[in-house]
Chains A and B, each alone.
Chain A
Amino acid sequence: MSEIETAAQANPSTTINNRVAAEINLMKIPLIKNFVRSRWYPGVFQWITLAVFSLIVFQLLAGPEAAHDNFGTAMTWVLWWPLIPIIFLFLGRFWCAICPFATVSDLVQKLVGNRRAVPKFLKKYGIWIIDALFIMITWSDHVFGVVESPWGSGVLLLGLTTGVVISGAFWERRTFCRYLCFLGGLSGNYARAGILALRGTPEICATCTKASCYKGTEKAEGCPLFEFPKTMEVNANCNVCANCAKNCPNDSIRLTLRPPTKELWFIRKPRLEEAFLSVVIMGIVFVQNVTMLEVWKEMLAWLEGVTGTTSYYVNFTITFLIAIILPVALLGLTSLGARIFNRDSWVRNFTIFGYAIIPLDMAGHIGHNLFHLLAEGKSVVYTAIGLFGQEVHGASPALVSTNVIQMLQFALIALGVVGSIITAYWLAKRNFPAKSWVSFIPYAVFVLVLAGINIWLFILPMAMRM
């Protein structure tokens, strides 16, 4: 065990200082420091994404009816959606800083914002609301065919726009992004496993009484996601907008690189709703995979025979519930098993080790979407050409062969398994030092079972989005 890790168990705050000292600080590179502290960052990206977003919404609502001809559909579901978990892995929640919805919220806030305090129930139940929204949106996507329908996708974006307009008009900062955005919940979990971290330097922050990073100055607003870098320990709610770096009079803010998943090893305040979200995401990955398999229609026909109804609503909802409940139930059972060995409650076991699923979630999520990105990637170019009245006929949208995609998917799952198992190991070691192995082994088995299901789903042939 290294000195840092030994200290971690003895005194977490000392450990944080030591960890900070051991990591690479990107803010020491003048080019990066000057850019992120300039007024161009992240504005220059925000305006680009807002312009592209406007074009996408216009295309979805007024462009070609067929998804495979629609530039908005291609940009949203073939390019952006597959890239987003990769962005979270490498840049944390940077996307949230340049997200067009957040920009709309900021604009409305500047124009007519009342900047009221966040309602208490949002603070209390925010993540649960995000969990529920995520499940509901995924269900609606399948039942109403949001992804396959440009119009449906357009209405979804309009709905989200209304959400951020309401939030920006009445509540302070980016309330929607922090407490309501379903993608924000997902990105919060993934950012924990990411390689980029933003923190204050503890020694400097300890002597600061101004809290400009939180309150804001004439240079920039305070943290839009209600974080206080002085006490911030996790990356879940940092969108790397660098407002804190712009405002800090003491040059305390550090932007560091770290090994992927490392933050998860040191989770100090695990929350049930976050653990639940991580395991629900695995269920959602299963649903996405199952319904895009070529055998899905046969499965549906079989289900119709069992339920005695041809209603897609009923049969899909049953499949959906099974896929969502399966990983939750498996984690619950594993926690009951672990409880026998470490004598802690099964709920606490569930809460702590739920975070261990996050690396595998990311791997499964990226792996699934990699199929769409690589097998249909050229459709972005084809539909973009279509905007200028030119049409491409008969050309394959694939960027690489199916075999290559499958190999990449397997490699990703292998990496996810390694990340999840290492995380489970460290969580067991830190939370149950005397019984770490017996606490770890049930979860290692659980991770392998989930990985096996993912690999099996990737082996089966999959249908395309466009």
Chain B
Amino acid sequence: MTPVWTGKKILCLVSTLLLLLTFFGNAHADGGDHPLEQEVAGYHVDLVIEEPVKVGENEVMVKLRSEEGASVDGAIVEIEVESSDGHVEEEEEVHAEVTESTMNMGNDVPSERTKQESVVDEHAMAEMVMLKTGHEPGEYQGSITLPKAGNWKVKVHFKHQDVETMASFPISIAADFSKTGIIGGFLSVNMAVVGTAAVLKRKTAAAKKAAAAMKTASVQ
């Protein structure tokens, strides 16, 4: 008797399930850059973050231009990450990849920021990440770590010609349901495989039993 489920059919079934899993696993993948713009104190500030903004490390680039559109070179650019409720994430949760050095920019120059912002800055000093000069004039790059999903403020502090300026950009990270989807996909595939194997095992056992019964009957 030819078995209904041959090795090839099993492989086809499993391959199909794995392809489906791959599809669902990649369904949320997205690409491209995510530019944010702001005009502040006569400067045009672009914050570029690769999309999708994700929990964990994100590459960032800051582009600085003057009002006339000229690239602002030689600025000291730092970045800090703050949750949108105003509390700054703890030091260990914000890491810099390009440089481990931090800088206390606010100590030298009197700040024009509000009192509330200054208080936040006192906490934020250690979390500042200094960006490296980029490939093009006026570009500064580095990486920031966003420790969890939610609403964040990415604050870009820059000092140019002894004037310190800050631009704040809101960033949102949706809860990552794709991860749940991938884990669910794996579970589904494994359960489907186990389920299929269980059904096949029962069928094979039943077929063997029937064959044995027929053999016994023919002997009698």
Name A residues whose Cβ lies closer than 8 Å to a Cβ of B: 61, 65-66, 69, 108, 111-114, 116, 119, 149, 151, 155, 158-159, 161-162, 165-166, 169-170, 391, 393
20 CB-based A-B contacts, threshold 8 Å: A65-B145, A65-B147, A66-B56, A108-B197, A112-B197, A112-B198, A112-B201, A114-B204, A116-B7, A119-B7, A119-B11, A151-B179, A158-B182, A158-B186, A162-B18, A169-B193, A169-B194, A170-B7, A170-B10, A170-B197
Q: Which residue in chain A gives the minimum CB-CB distance to B196? A: A169
Interface of A is mostly: helix
Is there an interface contact between B145 and A113, defined as CB atoms closer than 8 Å? no
Name B residues whose Cβ lies closer than 8 Å to a Cβ of A: 7, 10-11, 14, 18, 25, 55-57, 92, 95, 145, 147, 179, 182-183, 186, 189-190, 193-194, 196-198, 200-201, 204
Q: How far is the CA of A116 from the CA of B186 in the complex (A)?
A: 24
Minimum Cβ distance to chain B for residue A389 (Å): 13
**Which residues from A are CB-within-8-Å of B183?**
61, 158
Is there an interface contact between A162 and B189, defined as CB atoms closer than 8 Å? yes
Is there an interface contact between B197 and A169, defined as CB atoms closer than 8 Å? yes
Is there an interface contact between B197 and A114, defined as CB atoms closer than 8 Å? yes
Minimum Cβ distance to chain B for residue A133 (Å): 14
Among A151, A159, A391, the most chain B Cβ lie within 10 Å of the Cβ of A151
**Which residues from B are CB-within-8-Å of A155?**
25, 182
Is there an interface contact between B197 and A113, defined as CB atoms closer than 8 Å? yes
Minimum Cβ distance to chain A for residue B126 (Å): 12
Q: Which residue in chain B gives the minimum CB-CB distance to A169? A: B197
**Which residues from B are CB-within-8-Å of A61?**
179, 183
Q: How far is the CA of A61 from the CA of B182 in the complex (A)?
A: 11
Asked whether A114 and B57 contact (CB < 8 A) given A162-B18, A169-B194, the answer is no
Contact partner, B201, options A113, A149, A159, A393, Cβ 8 Å: A113
Q: Which residue in chain B gives the minimum CB-CB distance to A393? A: B92
Is there an interface contact between B92 and A391, defined as CB atoms closer than 8 Å? yes
Q: How far is the CA of A166 from the CA of B194 in the complex (A)?
A: 8
Contact partner, A66, options B57, B201, B204, Cβ 8 Å: B57
Is there an interface contact between A114 and B145, defined as CB atoms closer than 8 Å? no
**Which residues from B are CB-within-8-Å of A151?**
179
Is there an interface contact between A114 and B200, defined as CB atoms closer than 8 Å? yes
**Which residues from B are CB-within-8-Å of A116?**
7
Q: How far is the CA of A80 from the CA of B196 in the complex (A)?
A: 34
Is there an interface contact between A166 and B193, defined as CB atoms closer than 8 Å? yes
Minimum Cβ distance to chain A for residue B181 (Å): 12
Contact partner, B55, options A65, A113, A161, A166, Cβ 8 Å: A65
Q: Which residue in chain A gives the minimum CB-CB distance to B7? A: A119
**Which residues from B are CB-within-8-Å of A65?**
55-56, 145, 147
Is there an interface contact between A165 and B193, defined as CB atoms closer than 8 Å? yes
Q: Which residue in chain A gives the minimum CB-CB distance to B11? A: A119
**Which residues from A are CB-within-8-Å of B200?**
114, 170
Is there an interface contact between B190 and A165, defined as CB atoms closer than 8 Å? yes
Q: How far is the CA of A150 from the CA of B204 in the complex (A)?
A: 41
**Which residues from A are CB-within-8-Å of B57?**
66
Q: How far is the CA of A161 from the CA of B200 in the complex (A)?
A: 21
Is there an interface contact between B145 and A111, defined as CB atoms closer than 8 Å? no
The 4 residue pairs across chains A and B that have the minimum distance between CB atoms:
A169-B197, A65-B56, A112-B197, A112-B198
Minimum Cβ distance to chain B for residue A240 (Å): 29
Q: How far is the CA of A269 from the CA of B182 in the complex (A)?
A: 44
Contact partner, A166, options B14, B92, B147, B182, Cβ 8 Å: B14
**Which residues from A are CB-within-8-Å of B25?**
155
**Which residues from B are CB-within-8-Å of A114?**
197, 200-201, 204
**Which residues from B are CB-within-8-Å of A161?**
186, 190
Q: How far is the CA of A393 from the CA of B179 in the complex (A)?
A: 30
Q: How far is the CA of A112 from the CA of B57 in the complex (A)?
A: 42
User: 13 additional contacts, CB 8 Å, given A61-B179, A113-B197, A165-B193?
Assistant: A61-B183, A65-B55, A65-B147, A66-B56, A111-B198, A112-B194, A112-B198, A114-B197, A158-B183, A158-B186, A159-B186, A162-B189, A170-B200
